[in-house]
């Protein structure tokens, strides 16, 4: 019976550690992209992992690592870094199921404008995560700008799954 209790505790503690590890992964993203740590930021994804985001009326679909490295090296992104920016990932709602996990959180791009900071972009995100040999990685991240679209609300509703 003690063995059952030990095994049960080990499973529960593993799950808690997984949740904290995923928090760490998600909250590393901002400081990496805002400091120009392009390779490290793209390496938060699995190879072949995707980042989909709304871009005006279109949806861009980028693949890790090369497309993401290109994104974070772009003139637009580099100008955010030079101006002073925070890619803030809000506190997520997470569900872990063995070697897979889901997370939902808001994100904000906050950029300096003279002696104030503006919210240049506010979005909702849904991440599909997978445990790899080097720890948790993003397999798919979907990001939709907060403009009242049905697609943005569909991602939000995933917190109730």
Which residues sit at the interface with a second copy, rule CB under 8 A? 2-3, 5-6, 9-10, 12-13, 16-17, 19-20, 23-24, 27-28, 30-32, 34-37, 40, 81-86, 88-94, 104-106, 108, 110, 112, 116-122, 124, 145-149, 152-154, 156-160
CB of 25 to a second copy, least distance (A): 9
User: For residues 2 and 97, which CB has a smaller minimum distance to a second copy in the complex?
Assistant: 2
Can you tell me whether residue 1 is helix, strand or coil?
A: coil
CB of 53 to a second copy, least distance (A): 15
C-beta contacts of 67-72 below 8 A and 24+ residues apart: 68/38, 68/41, 68/42, 69/38, 69/39, 69/42, 72/33, 72/36, 72/38, 72/41, 72/42
CB of 133 to a second copy, least distance (A): 19
CB of 134 to a second copy, least distance (A): 14
Q: How far, in Å, CA of 48 to CA of 50, rounded?
A: 6
User: For residues 59 and 119, which CB has a smaller minimum distance to a second copy in the complex?
Assistant: 119
User: For residues 23 and 130, which CB has a smaller minimum distance to a second copy in the complex?
Assistant: 23
Contact call for residues 96 and 12 (beta carbons, < 8 A): no
For residue 68, the Cα-to-chain-centroid distance in whole angstroms is 13
């Amino acid at each position: 019976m003690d063995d059952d209790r030990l095994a049960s505790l080990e499973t529960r503690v593993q799950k808690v550690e997984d949740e904290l590890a995923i928090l760490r992964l998600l909250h590393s993203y901002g400081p990496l992209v805002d400091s120009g740590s392009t390779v490290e930021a793209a390496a938060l994804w699995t190879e072949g992992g995707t980042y989909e985001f709304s871009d005006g009326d279109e949806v861009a679909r980028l693949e890790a690592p090369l497309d993401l490295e290109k994104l974070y090296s772009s003139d637009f992104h580099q100008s955010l870094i030079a101006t002073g920016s925070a890619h803030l990932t809000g506190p997520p709602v997470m569900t872990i199921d063995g070697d897979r996990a889901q997370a939902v959180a808001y994100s904000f791009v906050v950029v300096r404008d003279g002696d104030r900071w503006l919210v240049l972009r506010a979005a909702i995100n849904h991440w599909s995560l997978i445990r790899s040999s080097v720890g948790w990685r993003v397999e798919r991240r979907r990001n939709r700008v907060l403009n009242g679209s049905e697609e943005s609300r569909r991602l939000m509703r995933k917190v109730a799954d």
